[in-house]
Structure 1
Amino acid sequence: MGLSYKDALDAPLLSVEDERGALHDWQERGDQRALELLLRSHARLVHAQAQRWTSNPVELEDLVAEGMIGLMRAADLFDLEQTVRFSTYAQWWVKTSISTAVARMKTIVNMPSRVYFDARRGRISGEEQRAALLASQAHLSIDATGGVGEASLGELRAPGRTPEEHAEAESSATRVREILLVALGQLGAQDRELLERRKLAAEPETVAETAAWLGISADRVAVFERRALSRLRLRLERLGCTPAMLS
């Protein structure tokens, strides 16, 4: 959906009841009109975030499109059991989608947006920062040694783990498994069983089998899965899991 800045500003805001109703209709019934209503009423949030990154009209249009994708993702995953407004939740998805697009547009070599912005803002230093900045500007040498003022591929190669790092990783994995069991126990019965059937079983169910169990069409299974995973992630974060542990 493409909305100009003027259209975004003119779009009416939704009341809490209308917002919740639209989210319910989209998530439970796949109502496209409900999704469109949500996107129109929150398009100004996307435009505001995109305008923070560029004033170039061409780039702005691309960033708005990316932000709308983030907004749709938020509509899929928003947990109606939470009391926060949808805009508060959606803002993170919009910002993430747009910042990822900015990193992709500004760099020649593909790299995670976090690495790009950390290098630009001086949050990493030394050779790591130099290599990331040179790579983003397409100054990365493909030879083994590299030249003057260039970073070689070897400089960006991650070293193997030490025995201590292996032990630490195994301990961390064990802790995550323990937390996962606790978090699963905090989910509703349907969400927990859905994840066990589709994600945790030795032989996961097919989409058709899960759809029959839930009594829904096969194309709605993915929505139910994403919502269950979002609820699980929220509980894992509350139990102390960091984003790095969950990636």
Structure 2
Amino acid sequence: MVIDNDEYLKATIRQAMSAPLLSIEEERSLMRRWVDDQDERALGKLTRAHMRMAVSTAIKFRGYGLPLADLIQEGAIGLLEAAKRFDPDREVRFCTYAGWWIRASMQDYILRNWSIVRVGSKSAHKTIFFNLSRIRSMIEDADTAPRTARIKAAERFNVSESDIEFMTSRLGRRDQSLNAMLTDDGDIERQDLIPDEREGPDSLAEGTLDQARRKSWIGKALKTLSNRERMIIEHRFFTEEKMTLSRLGDDLSLSKERVRQIEKQAMGKLKACLAAEASEEAI
């Protein structure tokens, strides 16, 4: 059977808005049964009575371009989380407590899905996101300089000026598909205009030749060293697990300082040999 999403949404809204309201005594009684006895029937009646809050909150947030049904579902998740965390011994009504969780759940969902790129990671970014139109109005309608207006807006919403600059810039444009057509005949996509920054065939060939040349030069240079010098250089620079001067000294029955001296002497020979190879190549 095919489910009509529009009809399902309408039925969900009708059911939520027609659920009977609970008195304070009924609310407390149901919450007690749920918290003390894990009575799922009490939880069901409690959540059904408050689903109208999820619907009304979702309608307020539908301007962010996300499906209303998804927002209502997120509100229901927030409602269940509120029931899980609520303490009936506190002098707070469940409806007040649940309202915060419903709104928070929807806001997190919007932030996760508004863009394929994460919108913001700080609580200040969340505050700015959901008050962006007011912040922009404060900045654009102000009689003062833009920076002064940003400072006032930052103070008003208890965020930093840098956070406002970051978020207004980040939210100033929506995501654009790389497959979007740029011409009426549909021949050019946006991604067709993005330059390819990979190395071309010429650069790749040149890099391969340079690598082979360097390997040949180093091989010739190593042959100019004594066996002991070559062993030290190879174990210090050309193996995955490079050996310390102390370890080499133990293996060669030399002091650490003597190994360092031999290494320095060998490096001098290598540099001289490589410089000579480079000079010959240049000629």
TM-score, reference length from structure 2: 0.43
TM-score, reference length from structure 1: 0.48
